[in-house]
């Protein structure tokens, strides 16, 4: 997201923005209308990443307009914690008294004025036109007045007003970097608990990781081994290799669906941290005798939906002649996994790649000691993936932790039961929260003396086979959005002893 601040508004800009709403364009442009529709859909419970493509297709918004709509909508959703205190001042009322559709229009206008390189007069006039189209003439006048006031100060001036230095540091950072206060506290605890920070450095590093949460992630593709190569993806428009994973490339612009390998399931959009998790599980050595056919391993993704890591693991399993099972409890997500694995399944032996539906908590009891490698990509709060899930920070609450950590513990226990002696379990979350990461693993180890924790850092390696830097003191590993440019993935590798 471009963050350069527009210059302080001069008298000409203010004069233009003071045009009466009746003198302005009567309908919003398609890109801003698409952004508004996404904000309304998210307010109704939709997921931005799933809903936006449908909205763009329905509105026939493509090319630069689609990029503008995406930046505008995602920025307005991510940064509403920054913009809402400013809007409350300029609206001279509690935002709870503003109709939600009107508030979404105001957030769209505020982001153009304070977070994008959009001329002030265009930001105000086009947003007022959008308001007239979607909320009526009366609301358009209100939007015009509020946005004129927003445009009278630069972003840094507003932040000094709504989040002054006198404010408690956590609360100040919550406003400035637009995160709920409990998320700010969770990140601070994670920085300390995972060993990245100490008491002296934590404030600076907390500001860094929260700022990274507000940067749109690059589109990263995975070349699934044996199905596609990074050279093929570069030839199709990707510009650079990934920073870490040997399977990763960066797509700087355009629709990934236009890349043939992606359409055919031989490649996919996948965060580089997610790729590293799958590669680490495949690299960690198993020991001892693995069932009736020692040359043929069995791999399991215990909760596979929507299928990103399963797609990479299945390709690796087929390459090695291993059997791969993807288990998913949700029927719809299981179908997504099935589509994702179709290319890998077509290249292997009949029945080598399977997708099935079932509760991962039951697998250990139903198939004890049946697998050599098991991935538990556990459902979590997703605090490490807030860059790509703009609405998640406003939906999750501390009350989500207790049921999630209970589920995570049950899934991990089931995975251990399903793993044969000498086999390896990878426990991963896209959250750094201590309750979802080190505490879950610690409690499992306390209950299971037959499980040992491996030094994950030995197997979490870059494309030159070197250990990734800055992943912590071990034995688990934590990735950081600001240091690694990935989601904040946590990974622990465990081996079941004989």
**Catalytic residue list:** 430
Number of CB atoms found within 10 A of residue 150's CB: 26
Query: Can the peptide bond before residue 240 be classed as cis, meaning omega within 30 degrees of 0?
Result: no
* Cα(206)–Cα(272) distance, integer angstroms: 22
Q: Residues 165-202, buried b or exposed e (16+ Cβ, 10 A)?
A: eeeeeeebbbbbbbbbeebbebbbebbbbbebbeeeeb
* Cα(272)–Cα(485) distance, integer angstroms: 8
Query: Cα-flanking dihedrals φ and ψ of residue 354, to 5°?
Result: -130, 145
Chain-centre distance of CA 389, in angstroms? 5
* Cα(461)–Cα(389) distance, integer angstroms: 26
Question: Considering Cα of 258, then 391, then 407, then 448, what sign does the dihedral take?
Answer: positive
Query: Which residues are paired to 426 by β-bridges?
Result: 375, 493
Tokens of 487: 């989601």
Q: Are 382 and 400 in contact (CB under 8 A)?
A: no
Residue (of 219, 368, 377) closest to 312 by Cα position: 377
* Cα(277)–Cα(309) distance, integer angstroms: 8
Residue (of 329, 487, 296, 472) closest to 414 by Cα position: 329
Query: Which residues are paired to 300 by β-bridges?
Result: 325, 374
The 3-state DSSP composition of the chain as helix, strand, coil percent (nearest 5) reads 55, 10, 35
């Amino acid at each position: 997201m471009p963050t350069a601040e527009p210059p302080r508004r001069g008298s000409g800009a203010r004069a233009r923005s003071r045009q009466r709403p009746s003198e302005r364009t009567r309908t919003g442009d398609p890109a801003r209308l698409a952004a508004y529709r996404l904000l309304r859909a998210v307010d109704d419970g939709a997921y931005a990443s799933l809903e936006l493509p449908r909205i763009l297709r329905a509105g026939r918004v493509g090319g630069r307009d689609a990029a503008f709509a995406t930046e505008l909508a995602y920025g307005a959703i991510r940064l509403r914690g920054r913009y809402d205190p400013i809007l409350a001042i300029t609206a001279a009322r509690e935002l709870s008294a503003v109709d939600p559709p009107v508030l979404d229009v105001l957030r769209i206008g505020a982001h153009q004025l304070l977070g994008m390189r959009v001329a002030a007069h265009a930001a105000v006039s086009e947003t007022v036109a959008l308001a007239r189209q979607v909320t009526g003439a009366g609301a358009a006048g209100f939007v015009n007045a509020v946005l004129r006031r927003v445009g009278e100060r630069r972003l840094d001036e507003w932040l000094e007003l709504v989040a002054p230095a006198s404010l408690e540091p956590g609360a100040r950072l919550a406003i400035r970097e637009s995160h709920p206060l409990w998320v700010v506290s969770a990140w601070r605890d994670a920085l300390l608990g995972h060993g990245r920070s100490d008491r002296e450095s934590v404030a600076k590093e907390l500001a860094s990781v929260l700022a990274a949460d507000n940067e749109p992630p690059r589109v990263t593709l995975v070349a699934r081994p044996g199905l596609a190569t990074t050279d093929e993806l570069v030839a199709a428009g990707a510009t650079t290799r990934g920073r870490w994973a040997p399977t990763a490339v960066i797509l700087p612009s355009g629709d990934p669906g236009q890349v043939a390998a992606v359409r055919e399931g031989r490649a996919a959009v996948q965060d580089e941290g997610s790729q590293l998790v799958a590669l680490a599980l495949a690299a960690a050595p198993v020991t001892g005798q693995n069932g009736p056919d020692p040359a043929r391993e069995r791999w399991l993704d215990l909760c596979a939906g929507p299928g990103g890591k399963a797609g990479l693991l299945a390709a690796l399993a087929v390459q090695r002649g291993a059997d791969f099972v993807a288990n998913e409890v949700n029927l719809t997500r299981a179908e997504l996994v099935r589509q994702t694995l179709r290319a890998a399944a077509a290249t292997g032996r009949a029945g080598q790649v399977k997708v099935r539906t079932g509760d991962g908590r039951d697998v250990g009891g139903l198939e004890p000691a049946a697998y050599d490698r098991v991935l538990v990509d556990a459902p979590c709060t997703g605090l490490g993936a807030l860059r790509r899930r703009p609405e998640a920070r406003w939906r999750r609450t501390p009350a989500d932790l207790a049921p999630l950590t209970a589920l995570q513990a049950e899934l991990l226990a089931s995975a251990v039961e399903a793993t044969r002696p000498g086999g390896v379990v990878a426990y991963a979350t896209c959250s750094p929260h201590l309750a979802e990461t080190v505490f879950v693993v610690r409690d499992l180890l306390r209950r299971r003396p037959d499980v040992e924790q491996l030094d994950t850092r030995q197997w979490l390696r870059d494309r030159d086979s070197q250990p990734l830097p800055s992943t912590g003191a071990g034995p688990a590993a934590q990735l950081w959005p600001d240091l690694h440019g990935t989601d904040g993935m946590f990974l622990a590798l465990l081996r079941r002893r004989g």
